Structure 1
Amino acid sequence: MTNIKIEHLTFGYDQLGTLLFDNAQLNIASDWKLGLVGRNGRGKTTLLKLLRGELPYQGQINHQLEMSYFPQKIYDPSELTYYALSETEELEIWKMERELTLLNCDLDILWRPFHTLSGGEQTKVLLALLFLDEHSFPLIDEPTNHLDMKGRQQVAEYLKKKKQGYIVVSHDRTFLDQTVDHILAIEKNQLILYQGNFSTYEEQKAQRDAFEQAQNSKLKKEIQRLQKTAQEKAEWSASREKDKTNKSKGFIDTEYRRVSPGAIGADAARMMKRSKAIVQRVEGQISEKEKLLKNIESADALRINYEESYHRRILQVEELGLFYSDKCLFKDKNFELLRGECLTIIGKNGSGKTSLLQALLGEFSGKVEGSIQRASGLKISRVRQNYENNQGTLEDFAEKEGLEYSHFLNNLRKLGMERRVFANRIQDMSMGQRKKVELAKSLSQRANLYIWDEPLNYLDVFNQKQILELLLQFKPTMILIEHDDYFVKKVSDKIVRL
């Protein structure tokens, strides 16, 4: 076992002084199975690059490890998978077959072109390649994005059996609970280490946040008291200055005696000097206490533009079957969706989940058997898996989609998108940012029915919690496709299995 030691790590991309990491300190043991979590854009992938020495930085990162990275680059996806994986070095085929067997993969995928594999199959093949070298330290960047529920469980079982340590980035809490024994959280621009899985991290973080919020509340009250004291002293000083300069009144009556303006002036000057010294001292105390306030990681509650339909039954499906040419995706499906219910469609990749959504919307290009009855006059809002056609500036996009621009931007801000990103074209944003655009669009649309296809992909755990709380609070009528087991169990009223 060796250690990865980080000392005084400081790093930022832009020229404005915005830092992803500021004087960060960390010590990691190489036999840990470490989960790396944090908000989108906080530097999770960047930290993996820094560990591999791919970016310049200030400070020190010391280790003696050979590090390997997932997902690896495939230079020619048109080649047979075995040869596509062997571009940089020749593989021992028996070792590759051993890893694929552990991942519950058909071995014939090695002899199919890489680009014809499903996203889940490509993920498993690249993970098998990653673990061929038992002496390297794996850095695994978001392996669950293209895996269905069964695939996530298979990969989790695979990682649990590995003896070597690794760092894995994921936003799937169930997956992390199964695969890690430490959590490294990027909070603001600091690295904070927790012992345990994701549930342990969440519990410890909640306790720490509650303590810091209590301290913040106490400090804010003390700051308010000091600010009031400073204001009172400043006002008193100003009133004595007024007495000093008001010479037209001659002698001034006080409660017990008549005092000359000269006496008042001398007294006021002394008191003003003392008062200003007190104000400066109090302002200094305020400044010191403000430095102690903790900037707690939080996410504002989202809002949805949901409008209840006057129909009780939104959808009625009977004996439904979908076919492409002679291939049957599924048949004999029966279900209904009532107002205020969330119906979740689950199944392995390729089972026809997205095709079912298309059929419900009247967009399926294959053969449809059975009947689909949909309530009339429904306003429908969608979150799609593929949103490549979201283009241009945010303002132009909002106008094209008929969105209230301020409402749309407010949703983006609540989802954690920074204001500096608002000037970027959508096609130039990161995948996480583009997903937020698609989600903020749907939240901003007035609708009776929301159809969301894998809404959690590319979103961090804070966003996932926001969406979960939103759906539990507003209970919009919804059809959902999602592979996150925890999320599905929390929000679903009905489940259709394919």
Structure 2
Amino acid sequence: MISINNLSYYIGDRPLYDDASLFIGPKDRIGLIGLNGTGKSTLLKMITGEDQPTAGEINMSNDTTIGFLNQDLLSYLTDDSILHVAMQAFAETMKIQKQIDEVLHEMETNYRDELVDKLAKLQERFETNDGYTMQAKAEEILEGIGFSTQDLQRPLKEFSGGWRMRVMLAKLLLEKPSLLMLDEPTNHLDLPSIQWLENYLQSYDGACIIVSHDRRFLNASINKIVEVSAYQLNMYAGNYDFYLEEKELRNEIQQNAFENQQQKIRQAERFVERFKAKASKAKQAQSRAKMLDKMERIEAVADEAAAVDFKFKFKVKSGRHVVKMENISKSYGDLNILSHANAHIERGDKIAFIGANGKGKSTALRIVAETESFQGTLQKGHNVTTAFYAQHQLEALNIQNEILEELKQAGSGKTDQELRGVLGCFLFTDDEVFKKIKVLSGGEKSRVALAKTLITESNFLMLDEPTNHLDMMSVSILVQALQQFEGTFLLVSHDRDFISKVANKIWWIEDHEIKEYPGTYEEWEWWYNREQEKKKSSPQPQNSEKKEKAKVAVEKPRHDDTQKQLEKEIAQLEGKIEALESEVTKLETELSKPEVFGDAAKMEKTTNRYQSKKAELETLNATWEQLVEKIG
């Protein structure tokens, strides 16, 4: 489908790519990985034609369509509703709909046979393009990635950047391009939305290239890894876990080959040095020297592993109780976030705050950090010293400072050598520590802000989405840092692999309260899924209430035939309602399956059945209410 041949790209005299090649097949789902600054986003822009390579070529078939989700889309604003923006994916079909409306309007005052023919042809084209289901598809995808039904008619401009990015993602998914390119999509999604997107991509009928630091998301979504390394595009057939195993094997083979070659080179060099002046061996020595000149040298394996080798020091150790929250309430107008919530953080707790966006995780984190107003009581424990990291810390960096100077101003009292050691752990080595903040990428700024947070010698850290904009190695460094941290932390994150490696407690918000699970993410996930299954299998309270209400009604003494007839009709209706509710539940389960929502025909058929059964159920419930009122 797309062939990249002998690609080179230079920024000044610095190469990002040098004679790199890659083929993208029509069903490939590729995870594009590499350190920040190695050119992942640049490659995507070259595929779209936005950037031009220095040398080489990118060829694609004429029918290839490309959809690209990138940070530039954040600037798009409009008064149109988010549903309307998403439905721009059906531009041709919406144009037909507009023509149909114009014809119908004209027919109101000027009914002619040619207009009837024109209308019939337009309606046929509209139906062929699935025009009657396009709004349902748009609504389903928007709701799948986290929007409520009430949100769909709100203007796009009312939403924050992250939510606007979700709308653009929905539009791309509805367009169904033959190549879908997503640059860090999980930065803008919460956990339920990430899981929905994983399922969607597994059955996506096209090729995908995904840039992401989220290891579990990649494992679930891709079937190939392309690593940008040493100016090349290195392909691995498998998910991210397979890539790690395969790369270790390749590195071992390469390192062995390198060491064997080095041994041969040393032997040849010794031979040349020993016999170059000896007449009887001079010819052989010259031959060996020529061999050495022509030899294609094998590169040593670069050590890409970064280790955190500094120890965290506290000015003081906190008391046993770090934070006590009692009767905490918080709302924004009619939006209730917390209501009389209680929570307790003890020394040594490593808490991950998870859940859907809009539930109040970041708000609760700011309450703990005392940067958000609230009602109730919050008490910090004895000797608790805090540091708070959030995305706005990136904007708080002094862009005129050099990196090393920025860390000096954190007030840790560390020497230049100690600070350079810390920066080395965060991938800033040698003269890079003198780079100005203003020239850094988003990921590099995140690393600087995180380093500042971690050297404050605070014993209680609060971190809001710390892995956003970081590459895989930077996330690994952060994991090591937090695993070594002997204090207490509370972090908000949607990166499940990251959470599973650092957290020993899980928080989430449910019914406006802060819930706690005392264990790892895997343990919480198993427990939570089991609880959800229990709820699904237990009788619906609504049915119980209906039966009880009807039972009370029919137990009242009645002596006429009308009363008996009503009781009979109620009993029959209850049976039908229970059967219908069971069918609706089954159809809801069907709609959530990837093989259904990934197949347009199945999706339309199942959606139509679901809507039909739901409407029938509503009618029966309304009839049941009327009968109970009569009998009461």
Which TM-score tier does this pair reach, normalised by the shorter chain? Answer: 0.7 to 0.9
Partner of 1:149: 191
What is the CA deviation profile of residues 387-412 of structure 1, one whole-angstrom value per residue up to 9, with x for unaligned ones? 21212222442343235444444433
1:382 aligns with 2:388: yes
Paired residue for 1:397?
406
Please tell me whether the aligned partners of residues 74 and 85 of structure 1 are also in contact (alpha carbons under 8 angstroms): no
Counterpart contact for 1:315–1:375, Cα < 8 Å: yes
In structure 2, the partner of 1:247 is: none
Query: Which of 468, 472, 475 matches 1:464?
Result: 475
Q: Deviations over 1:409-437 (max 9, x none)?
A: 44334333476755543234221111111
Cα distance change of structure 1 residues 381 and 325 upon mapping to structure 2, 3 Å threshold: closer
Cα gap change, 1:144 to 1:217, in 2 (>3 Å): same
Q: Which stretches in structure 1 are left out of the alignment for 5+ residues? A: 238-268
Pairing partner for 1:497 from 508, 520, 523: 508
Structure 2 partner of 1:245: none
Q: Does residue 348 of structure 2 align to residue 340 of structure 1?
A: yes
| CA positional deviation for 1:183 | 1.5
1:259-307, Cα deviation, whole Å (9 max, x unpaired): xxxxxxxxxx9679989x9799689859958x31334351320245522
- Check 1:358–1:134 CA distance in 2 against 1; reply closer, same or farther (3 A cut): closer
Q: 1:369 aligns with which of 362, 371, 376?
A: 376
Matched residue, 1:52: 48
Instruction: Give the alignment of 1:198-213 within 5 angstroms.
Output: 198-213=240-255
* Equivalent residue, structure 2, for 1:10: 8
| Percent of residue pairs bearing the same amino acid type | 25
SS in 1 for 2:186: coil
1:252 corresponding residue in structure 2: none
State the match for 2:137 in structure 1: 98
The alpha-carbon distance between structure 1 residues 494 and 131, as it changes in their structure 2 partners (threshold 3 A), is closer
The structure-2 alpha-carbon separation of the partners of 1:421 and 1:408, relative to structure 1 and needing over 3 Å to count, comes to same
Counterparts of 1:217 and 1:332, CA distance in 2: 66
Structure 1 residue 19 and structure 2 residue 15: aligned?
yes
The residue matched to 1:432 in structure 2 has which SS? helix
In the alignment, the residues of structure 1 paired with residue 180 and residue 378 of structure 2 have an alpha-carbon distance, to the nearest angstrom, of 50
Alpha-carbon distance in structure 1 between the residues aligned to 2:291 and 2:485: 46
Structure 1 residues 408 and 226, CA gap change in structure 2 (3 angstroms):
farther
- List gaps (5 residues or longer) in structure 2: 95-130, 510-632
Larger relative helix fraction: 2
d(CA) in 2 for partners of 1:407, 1:223:
40
Distance change (3 Å), C-alpha of 1:296 and 1:359: same
Cα offsets for 1:33-55 (capped at 9, x unmatched): 22211111111111111111222
Please give the alpha-carbon distance, in whole angstroms, between the structure 2 residues aligned to 1:325 and 1:134. Answer: 38
State the partner residue of 1:350: 358
Partner of 2:459: 448
Residue 69 of structure 1 aligns to a residue in which SS? strand
SS at match of 2:188: coil
Classify the secondary structure of the residue corresponding to 2:251: helix
CA distance in 2, matches of 1:102, 1:87: 14
Mapped to 2, the partners of 1:226 and 1:473 lie a distance apart of 48
Distance 1:124 1:349 in 2: 12
The TM-score with structure 2 as length reference comes to 0.64
Give the whole-Å Cα distance in 2 for the aligned partners of 1:373 and 1:186: 46
Call closer, same or farther: CA 1:133–1:344 in 2, change over 3 Å. Answer: closer
**Structure 2 SS opposite 1:372:** strand
Mapped to 2, the partners of 1:408 and 1:55 lie a distance apart of 37
- Compare 449-458 and 85-94 and name the one that shifted more: 85-94
Contact residue 33 and residue 179 of structure 1 kept, 8 A: yes
User: Residues 270, 47 of structure 1: CA spacing in aligned structure 2 closer, same or farther, 3 A cutoff?
Assistant: closer
Residue 454 of structure 1, CA deviation: 1.2
Find the aligned partners of 1:440 and 1:273 in 2 and give their Cα distance. Answer: 64
Structure 1 position 196, deviation (Å): 1.7
Distance 2:228 2:390 in 1: 29
TM-score by length of 1: 0.79
> Are 1:432 and 1:459, in contact at CA under 8 Å, matched by a contact in 2?
yes
Deviation for aligned residue 1:140? 1.4
Q: Deviations over 1:192-249 (max 9, x none)?
A: 111122222222122222333444455566777888x599x79xx9xxxxxxxxxxxx
Q: Tell me the equivalent position of 1:250.
A: none
Whole-angstrom CA distance in 2 between matches of 1:425 and 1:160: 42
Match of 1:12, as an amino acid? Answer: Y
Could you say which residue in structure 2 is the equivalent of 1:67?
Answer: 66
1:48 and 1:145 map into 2 onto residues whose CA distance is 18
Structure 1 contact 314–375 (Cα < 8 Å) conserved: yes
Q: Following superposition of structure 1 onto structure 2, how do residues 109-188 of structure 1 map, counting pairs within 5 Å?
A: 109-119=151-161, 121-188=163-230
Distance (Å, rounded) in 1 between the aligned partners of 2:37 and 2:23: 23
CA-CA distance at 1:87 after TM superposition: 8.3
The CA distance in 2 between the partners of 1:445 and 1:286, in whole Å, is 54
Q: In structure 1, how many angstroms separate the alpha carbons of the residues matched to 2:222 and 2:191? A: 18
1:435 to 446, 471, 480: 446
CA RMSD after TM alignment: 3.6
- 1:66 CA drift (Å): 2.3
User: Using CA pairs below 8 Å that are at least 6 residues apart, which structure has the higher relative contact order?
Assistant: 1
Q: Which amino acid aligns with 1:357?
A: L
Rounded to whole Å, the distance in 2 between the matches of 1:270 and 1:319 is 89
Instruction: Please show how residues 477-496 of structure 1 align to structure 2 within 5 Å.
Output: 477-496=488-507
Following the alignment from structure 1 to structure 2, what is the Cα–Cα distance between the partners of residues 429 and 210? 34
Supply the distance in 2 between the matched residues of 1:435 and 1:12 (Cα, whole angstroms): 25
Measure how far apart 1:334 and its partner are. Answer: 4.1
More off after superposition, 213-222 vs 85-94: 85-94
**Aligned residue for 2:231?**
189
Q: Where is the strand percentage greater, Structure 1 or Structure 2?
A: 1
Q: What amino acid does structure 2 have at the position aligned with 1:386?
A: H
Q: Which amino acid aligns with 1:448?
A: N
The match for 1:415 is 426
